[in-house]
C-alpha cells in the first residue's frame, strides 16, 4: 500500500512538472497570437486578455509595409544558402575526422581544436570578426553567410563525428571492394546514412540563423536594403513607444516558415538524436 502511494505521488509530481513545462512553452505562444489579433487600443487596455474580435489588420499592415518582402527575401536567401552549405560542408569535414582520429594524432588534435569553439561565446570574437570582414569588404550577405557557416562548424562537427562513429565500417569496406574511391564512398554510402543527423544540424542552425538579430546588426548595418526580418522587426520600437500589435503580427509571420520546415523534417531530427546517442 505504501509503495502504491509512493508511485502515485511520483506520478502526480511528474505530471505537475510536465504541465508546468507545457505552460511555460505555450504561454508565450498564446501571448504572440492574441496580441497579433488585437487592435492597438485593445493591447493598451489589457495585454493578457483574449481579443474581442480577430483583427487581421495588423498582418495586412505588416505585409504592405515598405520593402517587407525584400526583408523576407534577404532572410530566405541567407538562411537557405547557409543551411545548404552547412548541410554539405559539415558532414564532409566530419567524415575524415571520425575515421582517421583513432589512428592519426593530427586528426584527433584537429577535432578537439574545432570542438573547443563550442565553448567560446560569440561576444568574445565579435569585434575582431567584424573588423576582419570590414577589411575584406565582406560586410554584406556573403560575409554574413560565411560567418554563419563558420560558427555552425563547431557544434556540427561534434554531432556528426559522434554519429559517423556509430555507422559500421563494413559498409565502406564493401564499397571500396566494389571499386569506389573515398569521395564516392562518402556520397554514395555514408552521406545518405547521415540524413537524420544532417537534418538535425540543418534545422537547428536554420532556426538560429532565421531568428538571429546580433550578427545581421553588426554585418548588415551599412544598407537598409540588406536587412533581415529581425532587423525589420526591431523598427517597431521607437524612442518612447513600442507597437506591440504590429510587432507580434510580424513575429507570427516570421515563425511560420521555420515551423513548416520543422514539421516536414522533424522525424529525421528525432531519428538523428536517438541514433546518434547509441553506438552500434
pLDDT value at residue 91: 94
Give the per-residue SS3 of the chain: CHHHHHHHHHHHHHHHHHHHHHHHHHHHHHHHHHHHCCCHHHHHHCCCCCCCCCCCHHHHHHHCCCCHHHHHHHHHHHHHHHHHHHHHHHHHHHHHHHHHCCCCHHHHHHHHHHHHHHHCCHHHHHHHHHHHHHHCCCCCHHHHHHHHHHHHHHHHHHHHHHHHHCCCHHHHHHHHHCCCCHHHHHHHHHHHHCHHHHHHHHHHHHHHHHHCCHHHHHHCCCCHHHCCHHHHHHCCECCCCECHHHHHHHHHHHHHHHHHHHHHHHHHHHHHHHHHHCCC
**pLDDT value of position 82:** 95
pTM of the model: 0.81
Cβ atoms of residues 180 and 189 within 8 Å: yes
Q: Is residue 50 part of a domain?
A: no
**In the prediction, which pLDDT does 39 show?**
81
Residues of the chain with pLDDT under 50: 239-240, 276-280
* Helix pair 141-165, 122-135: axis angle to 10 deg: 130
Asked if 157 contacts 114 with a C-beta cutoff of 8 angstroms, the reply is yes
| Domain count within the chain | 1
Distances (CA, A) of 173 to 38, 55, 190, 193: 62, 62, 11, 15
pLDDT of residue 146: 93
pLDDT of residue 152: 92
The average confidence (pLDDT) of the chain is 84
* Domain containing residue 147: 66-74+82-277
Neighbouring CB atoms inside 10 A of 223's CB total 9
120: in domain:
yes
Q: For residue 29, is it within any domain?
A: no
41 within some domain: no
The x, y and z cell numbers of residue 263, run together, are 514539421
CATH for 129: 1.10.3720.10
Contacts of 101 (CB under 8 A, 6+ apart): 107, 108, 110, 111, 161
Q: Is residue 18 in a domain?
A: no
Positive or negative torsion for Cα 261, 33, 56, 59: negative
Amino acid at each position: 500500500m505504501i509503495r502504491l502511494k509512493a508511485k502515485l505521488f511520483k506520478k502526480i509530481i511528474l505530471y505537475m512538472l510536465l504541465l508546468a513545462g507545457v505552460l511555460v512553452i505555450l504561454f508565450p505562444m498564446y501571448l504572440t497570437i492574441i496580441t497579433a489579433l488585437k487592435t492597438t487600443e485593445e493591447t493598451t487596455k489589457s495585454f493578457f486578455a483574449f481579443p474581442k474580435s480577430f483583427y487581421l489588420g495588423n498582418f495586412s499592415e505588416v505585409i504592405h509595409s515598405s520593402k517587407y518582402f525584400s526583408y523576407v527575401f534577404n532572410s530566405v536567401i541567407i538562411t537557405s544558402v547557409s543551411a545548404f552549405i552547412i548541410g554539405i560542408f559539415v558532414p564532409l569535414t566530419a567524415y575524415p575526422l571520425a575515421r582517421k582520429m583513432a589512428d592519426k594524432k593530427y586528426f584527433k588534435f584537429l577535432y578537439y581544436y574545432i570542438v573547443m569553439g563550442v565553448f567560446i561565446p560569440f561576444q568574445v570574437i565579435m569585434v575582431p570578426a567584424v573588423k576582419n570582414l570590414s577589411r575584406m569588404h565582406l560586410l554584406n550577405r556573403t560575409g554574413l553567410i560565411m560567418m554563419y557557416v563558420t560558427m555552425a562548424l563547431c557544434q556540427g562537427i561534434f554531432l556528426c563525428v559522434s554519429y559517423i562513429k556509430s555507422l559500421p565500417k563494413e559498409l565502406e569496406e564493401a564499397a571500396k571492394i566494389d571499386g569506389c574511391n573515398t569521395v564516392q564512398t562518402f556520397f554514395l554510402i555514408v552521406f545518405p546514412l547521415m540524413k537524420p543527423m544532417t537534418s538535425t544540424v540543418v534545422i537547428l542552425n536554420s532556426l538560429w540563423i532565421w531568428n538571429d538579430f546580433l550578427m545581421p546588426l553588426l554585418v548588415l548595418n551599412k544598407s537598409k536594403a540588406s536587412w533581415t526580418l529581425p532587423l525589420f522587426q526591431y523598427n517597431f520600437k521607437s524612442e518612447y513607444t513600442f507597437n506591440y500589435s504590429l510587432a507580434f503580427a510580424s513575429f507570427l509571420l516570421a515563425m511560420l516558415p521555420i515551423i513548416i520546415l520543422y514539421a516536414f523534417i522533424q522525424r529525421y531530427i528525432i531519428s538523428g538524436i536517438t541514433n546518434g546517442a547509441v553506438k552500434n
